[in-house]
Amino acid sequence: MSNSTNFHRVPHPLLDPKEREWLAATLWNDIREIGILCLHQWVKGYHCLCLGYGAGSFCGYMQGFGWIADGANSSKWGAPAGRKYDLIALVNILEDVSHPLVTISSLKALLAVGGVMVIHTPNTFSELQGIAKLKPSGLTNYFNFASLSDLLEECGLRVVYRTTTFPMEWFILWGDNYSENPELYQSCHEKRMAFELALPTEVRRAFYAKLAGMGWGSNCIVFAVEQSMLEPQPHVPFDWLTRESEEI
């Protein structure tokens, strides 16, 4: 048997009600709340653009909080003339585009003054993947936190917050090798959802911020603003980075 396992991105389950509930309580909630904390202005009627996995459901979620939301399942998006967005989220898009630099630069032009861009993409070649003997493959582009930050910097953006998602590699280390046996993936995913839903939001954020600082986690999630903007002064402090993180 080979000493390493090829890592292929496992397709996400369909957005059934359980899936939407989990995303609304975790990823979508973080994009909305942390995104607002990174914005440099308060406006009425925030505009957001989501490209990628679950874009339609995410737009519905944001509209429920009063946002004006546009979305598409791919990066091939033509914004309405004159439309600017306070928040642009790319979820599982950047790893598949032909020219990441062009994609980010084009979307940056759609950011409103003081806006924030959120990138969610697989975290490849991490130390934890090496421990789990995973060899990333099957993607067009490979990123970790450092290379993603470098790309955004080249586009005139600066990362102001980093977080991640559950390190699915842990299941492999625990003996549930979903990469070699894809039938195991759904049960692993359901355990991951149960774990995240059981944690208070601020504890989960503190935990994942710590993992991101180590370069661990299945995905890189970064919030970036234009380099010309000063370091954001959150309207509400990032409490989960101070109080809860000290307790972990």
Rounded average pLDDT over 77-100: 87
Residue 51 lies in a domain: yes
What is the band of 238 on the pLDDT scale with cuts at 50, 70, 90? Answer: low
Query: What's the rounded Cα separation, in Å, for the pair 171 and 176?
Result: 5
Residue 1 lies in a domain: no
Residue 64 lies in a domain: yes
For residue 125, give both structure tokens: 């070649």
Residue 169 has pLDDT above 90, yes or no: yes
Residue 2 lies in a domain: no
Cα separation values, 82 from 9, 78, 109, 110, 155, Å: 36, 11, 11, 9, 21
What is the band of 81 on the pLDDT scale with cuts at 50, 70, 90? Answer: low
Residue 118 has pLDDT above 70, yes or no: yes
What pLDDT does 79 receive? 64
- Report pTM: 0.87
What is the band of 82 on the pLDDT scale with cuts at 50, 70, 90? Answer: confident
Domain boundaries, position 84: 15-247
Worst-scoring range by mean pLDDT, 26-30, 155-159, 210-214, 244-248?
244-248
Residue 40 lies in a domain: yes
State the total domains in the chain.
1
Residue 202 has pLDDT above 60, yes or no: yes
Residue 20 lies in a domain: yes
Residue 8 lies in a domain: no
Query: What's the rounded Cα separation, in Å, for the pair 182 and 231?
Result: 43
Residues 214-231: pLDDT tens digits?
A: 999 999 999 999 998 765
Residue 227 lies in a domain: yes
What pLDDT does 3 receive? 39
What pLDDT does 1 receive? 31
Rounded average pLDDT over 179-195: 94
The CATH number linked to 101 is 3.40.50.150
Residues 24-52: pLDDT tens digits?
A: 999 999 999 999 999 877 777 899 999 98
Rounded average pLDDT over 198-220: 96
What pLDDT does 244 receive? 43
**Burial of 177 by CB count in 10 Å (0-12 exposed, 13-18 middle, 19+ buried)?**
middle
Q: Nearest to residue 107, comparing CAs of 61, 156, 68? A: 156
Structural contact between residues 34 and 223, judged by C-beta atoms closer than 8 angstroms: yes
